[in-house]
Amino acid sequence: MNEGERTADHDRLVVAGRPASPGWAPMEGIVLPPVRKRRSLPRAMRVALTLSKGTVTFLIILLVALLAGSFALGMAVGMRVEKQPALVERAVEKETPKPVAVATETENVPEPQPAAAEIPAKIEEKPKLNITVGPPDDATAFGIQIGAYPDLGAAEASLDARVAAVAMYPIYIVPAEIKGKGVWHRVRIGTFKTRADAEKARTALPENIANEAMVVSYK
């Protein structure tokens, strides 16, 4: 092997990564295999391998911040969408006019009130008078004469205005012949044993009756 061939072999070993020791001499008759080229890594991987540790940490923090921002933005949008229906309802309530109550004719017509039960006027019943036409059976008794009338009907009618005052006594209408005047009807009340009793009863009558009355004997 000449000097040129030895130099070429030496260069091939150096390129292949095999150090050539000093004084190395290739053996004659040995054929060296062809030198294989190394495969290159992808560009992204080579860039990643060349990044420093601080740069990787910064990128990780940036990525986490972006994810957190996206999540917060999504939450805000979701809450705003939930509030929109309520806002729309309020806007509709404000815009929708409330119906105005219109008074109808039937509302102004008062309801018929039930007719009040008619209370019949209380008819004051007059006390029943105990009237006898003629003198009492006891002719010795005393009475109180309150009037004298030429007609029997007039004598009875005169008692209507004196019912309350004379109702407690028996009443006697005694006819009597008066000379020159005919028959008069004397209206007398009560039968008293003495004149004093009759006088006492007369003074107890209403004043307008007592002033015109007088105590008489039935004899």
Comparison of pLDDT for 16 and 73, the residue scoring more:
73
Q: Which of 14-23, 51-60, 160-169 has the highest mean pLDDT?
A: 160-169
Q: Write the CA distances from 39 to 14, 19, 111, 151, 201, integer angstroms.
A: 18, 21, 109, 169, 163
The pLDDT of 56-61, averaged and rounded, is: 82
Domain co-membership, 135 together with 213: yes
Tokens (6 digits) for 160: 């209507």
Tokens (6 digits) for 35: 């030198």
Residue 158 domain-assigned (yes or no):
yes
Residue 29 domain-assigned (yes or no):
yes
Q: What is the pLDDT of residue 15?
A: 46
- For residue 153, what is the domain's CATH number? 3.30.70.1070
Handedness of CA 178, 150, 152, 185 (dihedral sign): negative
The model carries a pTM of: 0.45
Residue 77 domain-assigned (yes or no):
no
Residue 13 domain-assigned (yes or no):
yes
Using pLDDT thresholds of 50, 70 and 90, give the confidence band for residue 61. Answer: confident
For the chain, the average pLDDT equals 76
What would the pLDDT profile of 147-197 be if each residue is shown by its tens digit? 999 999 999 999 988 888 899 999 999 999 989 989 999 999 999 999 999
Q: How far apart are the first and last CA of the chain?
A: 212
Q: By residue range, what is the domain housing residue 180?
A: 131-217
Residue 17 domain-assigned (yes or no):
yes
Which DSSP letter does residue 131 get?
E
> Which residue, 65, 81, 103, sits at the end of a domain?
65
Residue 35 domain-assigned (yes or no):
yes
The pLDDT of 108-128, averaged and rounded, is: 67
Q: Which residues contact 92 (CB under 8 A, 6 or more apart)?
A: none
86-90, 134-138, 169-173: lowest mean pLDDT where? 86-90
Q: How many domains does the chain have?
A: 2
What would the pLDDT profile of 26-40 be if each residue is shown by its tens digit? 555 555 566 565 566
Residue 84 domain-assigned (yes or no):
no
Residue 91 domain-assigned (yes or no):
no
